[in-house]
């Protein structure tokens, strides 16, 4: 008996909305737009990842160009019904999307690639292939804690990551440590990065702290995974505002200026250096 394919309800078919600084009032957004001449780009949809990349290949960097790219890539994500697991929504093509963005980042900014939260190394491997092509490194950090045991992070996932990444020893540097320690912060700050994927814990203070390590050395794009976690989105937004001098930080760090761009149908949310 063949399984029935459920109908996707109409409301799920609405096109994605792009928001610059999603948590701000319209007045605050206008203030930022005026300051940095930020424009919402018209959404130009391409049909495949490849054509999406070709389409944008020779556009110089601009925030509008970034938004166009992101919307084109977002259009490739399948619509999902309300019963789909929240973590699946906007994440089906996430690795391919990161590859496209990483390639573009390598062409646009100096620096290596950084991933916090290696897990099994699947995304690291994708980034490593791009890094190798452009003579860059991928740095990835994970502590693979022993608990909770159900995830088997230390016994199964960690060895799998090392095995998967062994063929990329020339480009991948693995650090096995808690990302929040002062030593890890110093390690992150040793280099500059054209693209960062922040993907460890999702709590507000954790994300704030991690971005406090990353933003001073991020040259281009920072993707923060799991935007459906509201405390994470709040931390991203706060750091963006602090970087623009629009909010005071309780732990001031010198960083570049970052615009927060969120496409409603994507699982990750993005900071773009202005
Ligand atoms: C969602 S997974 C990362 C997935 C991976 N980036 C990918 O795309 O396949 C989160 C990882 O963060 C790691 N992690 C959680 N807290 C951490 C911390 N404080 N320091 C370093 N790694 C941590 C976990 O061990 C886990 O492997």
For every residue of 89-124, DSSP letters joined together read TTTTTHHHHHHHHHHHHHHHS-SEEEEE--TTSHHH
The C-alpha R_g of the chain, in whole angstroms, comes to: 19
Beta strands in 170-268 (DSSP E): 172-176, 193-198, 218-224, 258-263
Q: Tell how far the Cα of 198 is from the centroid of ligand 1, in angstroms.
A: 9
The pLDDT, as a whole number, for residue 124 is 97
Q: Which residues contact 131 (CB under 8 A, 6 or more apart)?
A: 102, 106, 112, 113, 137, 138, 171, 172
Q: What ranges do the domains of the chain cover?
A: 14-273
Q: Tell how far the Cα of 190 is from the centroid of ligand 1, in angstroms.
A: 21
Give me the average pLDDT of each 10-residue run along the chain (274 residues).
47 56 67 45 32 39 73 82 83 91 92 98 96 97 90 93 98 98 98 98 97 96 96 94 86 86 90 89
The pLDDT, as a whole number, for residue 167 is 97
Q: Tell how far the Cα of 5 is from the centroid of ligand 1, in angstroms.
A: 34
Q: Which atom from ligand 1 is nearest to the alpha carbon of 197?
A: 6
Q: Does the C-beta of 179 come closer than 6 Å to ligand 1?
A: yes
Residue among 88, 90, 142, 212 to mutate when testing ligand 1 (max atoms within 8 A of CB) = 142
Query: What fold, for 14-273?
Result: Rossmann fold (3.40.50)
């Amino acid at each position: 008996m063949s399984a029935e394919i459920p109908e996707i309800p109409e409301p799920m078919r609405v096109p994605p909305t792009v928001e610059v600084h999603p948590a701000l009032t319209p007045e605050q957004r206008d203030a930022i737009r005026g300051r940095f001449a930020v424009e919402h780009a018209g959404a130009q949809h391409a049909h495949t990842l490849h054509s999406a990349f070709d389409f944008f290949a020779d556009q110089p960097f601009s925030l509008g160009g970034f938004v166009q790219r992101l919307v084109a890539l977002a259009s490739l994500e399948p619509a999902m019904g309300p019963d789909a697991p929240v973590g699946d929504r906007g994440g089906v093509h996430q690795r391919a999307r990161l590859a496209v963005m990483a390639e573009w980042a390598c062409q646009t900014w100096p620096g290596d690639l950084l991933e916090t939260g290696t897990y099994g190394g699947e995304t690291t491997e994708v980034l490593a292939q791009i890094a190798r092509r452009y003579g860059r490194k991928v740095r990835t950090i994970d502590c693979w804690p022993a608990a909770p045991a159900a995830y088997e992070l230390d016994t199964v996932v960690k060895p799998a990551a090392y095995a998967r990444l062994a063929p990329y020893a020339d480009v991948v540097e693995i650090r096995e440590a808690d990302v929040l320690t002062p030593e890890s912060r110093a390690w992150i700050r040793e280099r500059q990065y054209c693209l960062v994927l922040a993907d460890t814990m999702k709590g507000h203070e954790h994300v704030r702290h991690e971005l406090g390590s990353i933003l001073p050395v991020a040259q281009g794009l920072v993707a923060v995974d799991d935007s459906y976690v509201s405390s994470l989105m709040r931390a991203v937004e706060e750091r963006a505002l602090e970087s623009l001098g629009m909010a005071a930080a309780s732990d001031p760090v010198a960083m570049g200026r970052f615009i927060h761009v969120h496409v409603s149908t994507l699982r990750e949310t993005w900071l773009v250096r202005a």
